[in-house]
């Protein structure tokens, strides 16, 4: 209790001091140090053989910085050299020559500088005719049959949902429950189900998770939009375990993206992909579903599972992935950036170990092949400064989608999205509701 009172006293004093400072001296309306890195083409797109450059501007309190050392590396994305080159900031500016590409893809520039004892850094990428990027992944002749059989096998088992009320996430407008679903013979998933309390019929939204085995959390974002929302995890980890027990349980998931990779029938993601499709079956069994609209959306691994689920489950009507992972997975085998988890890469942990066992399995799991059979309207958003899900791999997916599609490209974003992108996605969903 004593420590709590001391902490609260310290917090109050800090807040009071900040308020007094603002009253006495005024609040800053912009940062004192301003650094910008801008390609010489505003859209970050170049023609093959055209040289690209990156302009770095640095201002302190509005005044140009002089004689700061700027270190940088330039090369094909995810194949940057080990050594740094150096330029000097003169009159607040420096121009980094990025070179060019003679085949479709992305150049990357990683830069850094030390200013007033703090490291400033960023990663900037530019695209060379990305509309012409083609995937190195081919579609197996039995791809569709393989997944039809897998989904049919999973549908032989009842979903048998088990519900737990979540009072802390339930109010007068929204009801939230944790549900456990049986999504295959030996596969279960947990998910937070949230829906409007008001009686009526609503679209359903499935949100698969990003990579890892971290806890997920409920949200009222979609219920406030008049939608039923299910956020799932993929490892059968009880989300109500205390932190210590959860940490112990999730140890079995370590490196899951490599488990069973040698055999397409036993690869870890097989039950995950089918399980996401079964989660859609569950949503469509709810009495509150409007019987018409089924949306899937997510980012990174969740973006990959969004496309996969939309391709596997015939009930899905809208597909909205953000920077999908698991895309163009054979890219590194051909000297080009592939998607997360960067199989076959000489630069990332575990990449080399996969070469002998994954090359025949991964085409069955590559998002590119699911995108090839996608048939529902699709909204996709991604950025170019992403070093987790390379823009090369995302473009490889985008370029094979034949369904009606709309893109939201924000070149300066990395492995995250701007709020405006989420807003645009929601507006697109509402526009396309049946």
Q: In what order do the strands lie in the sheet with 68-76?
A: 45-46, 118-128, 105-115, 68-76, 85-89
Q: Respond yes or no on whether the N-terminal peptide bond of residue 386 is cis (omega within 30° of 0).
A: no
Among all chains, which residue has been given the structure tokens 């870890």?
A: 268
Dist. CA 323–CA 115, nearest whole Å = 32
Is 386 a residue of the active site?
A: yes
CA dihedral 145, 309, 166, 287 (to 10 degrees): -80
CA distance 114 to 121: 9
| Coil, strand or helix at 113 | strand
E strand or H helix at 134: none
Ordered DSSP codes for 155-188: TTS----EEEE-GGG--SSEEEEEEEEEEETTEE
How far is Cα 140 from Cα 373, in angstroms, rounded to an integer? Answer: 13
Task: Identify the burial level of 6 via C-beta atoms within 10 angstroms of its C-beta, where 0-12 means exposed, 13-18 middle and 19 or more buried.
Answer: exposed
CA 404, CA 398: separation in Å to the nearest integer?
11
Q: Is 173 a catalytic residue?
A: no
Q: Establish whether 432 is a catalytic residue.
A: no
In the 8-state DSSP scheme, what is residue 140? P
SS3 call for 58: strand
Q: How many residues comprise the chain?
A: 434
- Which residues, listed in sequence order, are joined to residue 52 by a DSSP beta bridge? 99
User: Which residue of the set 386, 387, 408, 421 is catalytic?
Assistant: 386
Structure tokens of 134? 């083609």
d(CA 316, CA 156): 20
Q: What is the rounded radius of gyration, in angstroms, for the C-alpha atoms of the chain?
A: 24
State how far the alpha carbon of 234 is from the alpha carbons of 151, 238, 254, in Å: 16, 11, 13
Residue 388: Cβ-neighbour burial (10 angstroms; 0-12, 13-18, 19+): middle
Choosing from 135, 213, 300, 421, the catalytic residue is 300
**CB burial string 328-344: b at 16+ within 10 A, e below:** bbbbbbeebbbbbbbbb
Q: Which residues are known catalytic residues? A: 300, 386, 415
């Amino acid at each position: 209790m004593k420590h709590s009172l001391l902490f609260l006293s310290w917090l109050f004093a800090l807040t009071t001091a900040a308020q007094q400072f603002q009253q006495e001296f005024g609040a800053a309306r912009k940062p004192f140090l301003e650094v910008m890195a801008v390609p010489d083409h505003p859209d970050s797109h170049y023609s093959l053989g055209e040289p690209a450059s990156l302009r770095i501007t640095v201002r302190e309190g509005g005044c140009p910085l002089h004689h700061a050392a700027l270190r940088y590396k330039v090369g094909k994305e995810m194949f940057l050299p080990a050594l740094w080159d150096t330029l000097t900031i003169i009159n607040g500016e420096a121009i980094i020559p990025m070179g060019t590409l003679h085949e479709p893809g992305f150049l990357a520039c990683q830069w850094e500088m030390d200013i007033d004892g703090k490291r400033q850094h960023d990663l900037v990428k530019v695209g060379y005719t990305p509309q012409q990027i083609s995937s190195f992944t081919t579609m197996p002749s039995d791809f569709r049959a393989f997944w039809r059989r897998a989904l049919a096998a999973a549908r032989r088992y009842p979903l048998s949902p088990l519900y737990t009320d979540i009072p802390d996430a339930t109010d007068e407008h929204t009801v939230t429950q944790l549900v456990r679903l049986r999504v295959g013979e030996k596969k279960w998933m947990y998910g937070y189900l949230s829906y409007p309390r008001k009686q009526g019929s609503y679209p359903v939204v499935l949100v698969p998770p990003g990579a890892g085995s971290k806890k997920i959390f409920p949200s009222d974002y979609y219920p406030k939009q008049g939608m039923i929302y299910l956020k799932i995890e993929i490892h059968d980890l009880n989300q109500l375990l205390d932190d210590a027990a959860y940490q112990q349980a999730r140890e079995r998931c370590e490196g899951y993206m490599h488990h069973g990779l040698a055999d397409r029938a036993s690869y870890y993601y097989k039950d995950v992909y089918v399980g996401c499709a079964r989660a859609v079956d569950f949503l469509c069994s709810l009495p509150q579903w409007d019987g018409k609209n089924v949306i899937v959306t997510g980012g990174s691994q969740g973006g990959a599972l969004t496309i996969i689920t939309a391709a596997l489950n015939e009930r899905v009507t809208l597909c909205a992935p953000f920077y999908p992972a698991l895309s163009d997975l054979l890219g590194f085998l051909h000297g080009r950036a592939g998607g997360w988890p960067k199989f076959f890469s000489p630069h990332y942990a575990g990449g080399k170990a996969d070469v002998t066992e994954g090359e025949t399995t991964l085409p069955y799991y590559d998002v590119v092949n699911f995108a090839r059979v996608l048939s529902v309207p699709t909204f996709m958003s991604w950025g170019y400064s992403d070093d987790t899900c390379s823009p090369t791999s995302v473009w490889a997916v985008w370029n094979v989608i034949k369904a009606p599609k709309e893109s939201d490209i924000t070149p300066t974003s990395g492995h995250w999205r701007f709020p405006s992108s989420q807003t645009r996605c929601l507006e697109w969903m509402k526009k396309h509701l049946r």
